[in-house]
């Protein structure tokens, strides 16, 4: 076969065909030391490098990428550890609370002090007032008020994060000198009580839909289980059960 014929045959091969062949025959270069030494590839610096050098360069890039991803995963794990410890402390304080207002005060102190956020709200939906005046993070509103002001936010049972309307933020966190700009909210899920647990930040965009809500849901689930017995101790009539039946 002449060089001209060989070049013509090689020219008939597409890049894809050559790539597929090498993929199917990864041992092709074994015993082809001279061929490997003769192959060169352009480099970012402008000089030509051997195929082996190029492979080493790619392996180093992959190593650096994996190292960066590992550092990010370790940082996320440490962040989650800190969140878990803070959530655990809050849950223990809520369990040990002797009254609704003590529970609300524990939540308020933890969210502001431990978590470093600006506001917390435990909003209970009931037509019956509490026998004690709500304090701290605790509020009681009628189911009709909640439906009118929060609307679709009450339809689901999962945490939602984002920039709520100003009227909704003011309803969740009233009487604030510095208004809340971003909210994370999760419904209280229990057959005997209806309400929401919300936390707020004065920083716009602090909460967004991409944020995880595992720990917020964990705290909310704890409140959902503790609030019915706490309200029973205060003699609160179980009128909120009717609201759950209307909005399953």
- Are the C-beta atoms of 194 and 125 separated by less than 8 Å? yes
Mean pLDDT in residue range 51-59: 73
Q: What is the pTM of this model?
A: 0.65
Nearest one of 199, 183, 3, 169 to 83, comparing CA atoms: 199
CB atoms within 10 A of CB 183: 24
In tens, the pLDDT along 86-123 reads 888 988 998 888 888 888 889 999 998 888 899 999 88
Average pLDDT score over residue span 174-202 = 84
Strand partners, 200: 119, 183
Structure confidence by residue, pLDDT tens digits, 3-46: 455 455 555 678 888 788 878 887 777 777 677 667 666 666 55
Residue 242 pLDDT: 38
Q: What angle do CA 18, 9, 53 make, to 5 degrees?
A: 40
Name the strand (E) or helix (H) holding 198. strand 193-201
Per CATH, which fold does 99-246 belong to? Answer: Beta-Lactamase (3.30.450)
In whole angstroms, what separates CA 213 from the centre of its chain? 5
Per-domain residue ranges of the chain: 36-96, 99-246
Token readout for 117 is 């956020």
Indicate the helix (H) or strand (E) that contains 201.
Answer: strand 193-201
Contacts of 230 by beta carbon, 8 Å cutoff, 6+ apart? 97, 99, 100, 103
């Amino acid at each position: 076969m002449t060089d001209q014929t060989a070049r013509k045959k090689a020219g008939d091969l597409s890049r894809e065909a050559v790539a597929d062949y090498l993929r199917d025959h990864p041992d092709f270069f074994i015993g082809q030391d001279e061929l490997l030494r003769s192959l060169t590839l352009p480099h970012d610096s402008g000089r030509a490098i051997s195929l082996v050098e190029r492979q080493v360069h790619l392996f180093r890039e992959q190593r650096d990428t994996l190292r960066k991803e590992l550092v990010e995963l370790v940082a996320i794990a440490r962040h989650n550890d800190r969140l878990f410890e803070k959530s655990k402390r809050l849950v223990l304080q809520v369990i040990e609370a002797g009254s609704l207002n003590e529970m609300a005060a524990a939540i308020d102190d933890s969210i502001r002090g431990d978590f470093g956020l600006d506001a917390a709200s435990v909003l209970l939906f009931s037509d019956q007032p509490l026998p004690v005046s709500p304090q701290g993070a605790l509020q009681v509103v009628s189911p009709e008020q909640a439906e009118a002001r929060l609307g679709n936010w009450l339809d689901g049972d999962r945490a939602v994060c984002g920039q709520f309307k100003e009227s909704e933020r003011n309803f969740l966190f009233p009487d604030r000198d510095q208004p809340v700009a971003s909210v994370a909210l999760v419904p209280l899920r229990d057959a005997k009580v209806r309400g929401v647990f919300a936390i707020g930040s004065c920083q716009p965009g602090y909460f967004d839909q991409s944020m995880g809500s595992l720990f917020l849901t964990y705290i909310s689930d704890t409140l959902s289980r503790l609030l019915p017995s706490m309200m029973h101790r205060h003699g609160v009539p179980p009128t909120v059960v009717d609201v759950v039946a209307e909005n399953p």
